[in-house]
Amino acid sequence: MTSRKKYHTFFTIPLILVFILNAISCKQSNIKMDLNDDTPVLQGIHESGVLKVAIDFNSINYFVYRGKPMGYQYELVQALCKDLQVKPEITVNSNLHETIEGLQNGQFDLIAKSLTDIRELRRLVDFTKPLKQTRQVLVQQKPKNRATDSVYVRTVSDLAEKKVHVQFNSTNYHRIKYLSAEMAEAVEIAEDSVNGAEQLIALVASGEINYTVCDENLAMINQMYYPNIDISLKVSFPQNIAWAVRKGSGEWKEYLDEWIVRFKQTKEYRDIYYRYFVNPRLASRFNSDYHSTSGGGISVYDPLVKELAAKHGWDWRLISAIMYHESRFDPEAESWGGAYGLMQLMPATAESLGVADITDPRQNIEGGILLLNWLNDQLKPSLPDSAERVKFVLASYNIGLGHVKDAQRLAKKYGKNSQVWGNNVDYYMKNKSADRYISDSAVKWGYARGEEAYNFVNKVIANYEHYRNLIPE
C-alpha cells in the first residue's frame, strides 16, 4: 500500500463535556466566562479592519494545494470577510483550552472549526446557526471474510473490550468514552497526542492499529485514498456543525446568523460545498504530493527553492509564495512586459545579476533571490525592522526601488510613518498614479501603477502566512 508522509494535521472538533467542565471549575480555569460582557465585537472588527479567526488544519477545512490556500472553512471565512470588508487573520490552533480562552480574551473573534453544537459547550460559547451536519464513524479495515472475521466490528456493542485509538482531547475521544460508559464491558481507549485523525486513519489502513473514530466527512475523503478501509458503522446521531463566538456577543452573533442563513442559499456556497464534499476529483487532489496534509509540498521546485533560499538566508516558503504569484510555478511564464520564468525576471535585470540563462529554473530562482538580497541591502539602513522591511522589499521587487522610495517620501510628507507599510506607506503606493501625487515635489520617479505593487505585497504576504501555518519549515 502506498504510504503518505505523516504530518500533524491537528484535525480536532473540540468539545467540552461534563468532566472537562468540572475540571475547569475545580481548577478555576483562566477561561473567562463573563456572561454579561457587552463588548461590541462587530464594531471592533470594522474599526480594526481585521477578523481574527481560529481554524483547524485538515484536508477539508484548511490546507494548501499546489501553492494555493484552500478549504471549506477557509473559503467560508474569505466570503465572510468580503461581506464585512475586512481582512482575515487566521491562526491554526488545535488546543481546546487555548482556543476557547483566546475567544474569551479577545485573541479571536471567531472559531471557524467544525464545532459540534452541544449543551455543555454552550456554557462557554455562543453558537451560530448551523453550517451543516455530520456524524462520527468507526474506521476499520474491510473484512477478508465478513462472516468469520473476528476483528471486524459490525455493531457498536461489538466494540466492548476492543482497543480504539483516537486523537487526544477530541470529539472522537469523548464520543467513544460516552459509548464505553454505556456498555457492560468497557472499550479500551488509547488517546494519541501525536497523530491527528488523518494519521490514525492511515495507521488503520496499513494495519498498524485496528480502529479509530472520526468525522464522517473526513472518513469519506480518506476512503478515496485508502479503499481498504470500512466506515459504515455510525457511532453518533447527526450533529449540527457551527461556528462559535464569545458568550454574549450580541450584535456580532446576530450578524453571523443572518449571513450564514443568507449565504447558504447562494450559488457561491453550493460551489464551495461541492468542491470539498462532492467533487469526484477530491481523491486526485488529496493524493497529491503538493497537498499540505499528505505530501506536504508546495511545488515540484521545493528541493531547489529550499537549497537556494537556505544558501541566501531566506525562508523557502516566502520564495515559493513569490513564485506562486509571479508564475504559478510555470518556468516558461512570460508577462506582457517581457518578464520571464518562475521569478519573472526582466532580461536586463537578469543579466546584471549574472544570470546567463533566464530560462533555466535554477538560475531564474537564484537570480530572483539575488535581486531580493540587493533590495534588502538597499532598504536596511532606513528600515531596521526586518519583518516590516520584507514588505518594502516585495514592493520594490514588483515595481522598482525608486517608486517605493517615492511612496516613503510621500508618507513622511503627509504625516504617516515612512518605516511602516500597512496603513502608512502602502496608501501612497496604491495611489501613486493619482494626479495629485504625480506632480508632488516628493515624487522623483514619476507615474507608476502603484496598485499592482500594493496588491502584490498583500497577496504574497497572505500566501506566505498560509504556508507558514500549514507547510513544515
| Active-site annotation, residues | 326
What gap in Å lies between CA 331 and CA 358, rounded to an integer?
10
Buried b / exposed e along 313-323 (16+ C-beta atoms within 10 A): ebbbbbbbbbb
Count of beta carbons in the 10 Å neighbourhood of residue 400? 15
C-alpha cell at 391: 514588505
Q: Are 124 and 245 in contact (CB under 8 A)?
A: no
Contacts of 20 (CB under 8 A, 6+ apart): 96
C-alpha cell at 425: 506607506
Say whether 64 sits in a helix, a strand or coil.
strand
Contacts of 181 (CB under 8 A, 6+ apart): none
Contacts of 14 (CB under 8 A, 6+ apart): 96, 99, 100, 113, 115, 169, 170, 171
Residue 253 CA, distance from chain mean position: 23
Q: Which residue, among 156, 159, 153, 152, has the nearest Cα to 186 in the 3D structure?
A: 159
H/E element holding 205? helix 197-206
Residue type, 282: L
244: phi then psi, degrees, rounded to nearest 5: -130, 145
Q: Are 72 and 276 in contact (CB under 8 A)?
A: yes
Q: Are 391 and 457 in contact (CB under 8 A)?
A: yes
H/E element holding 27? helix 18-27
Say whether 302 sits in a helix, a strand or coil.
helix
Residue type, 335: S
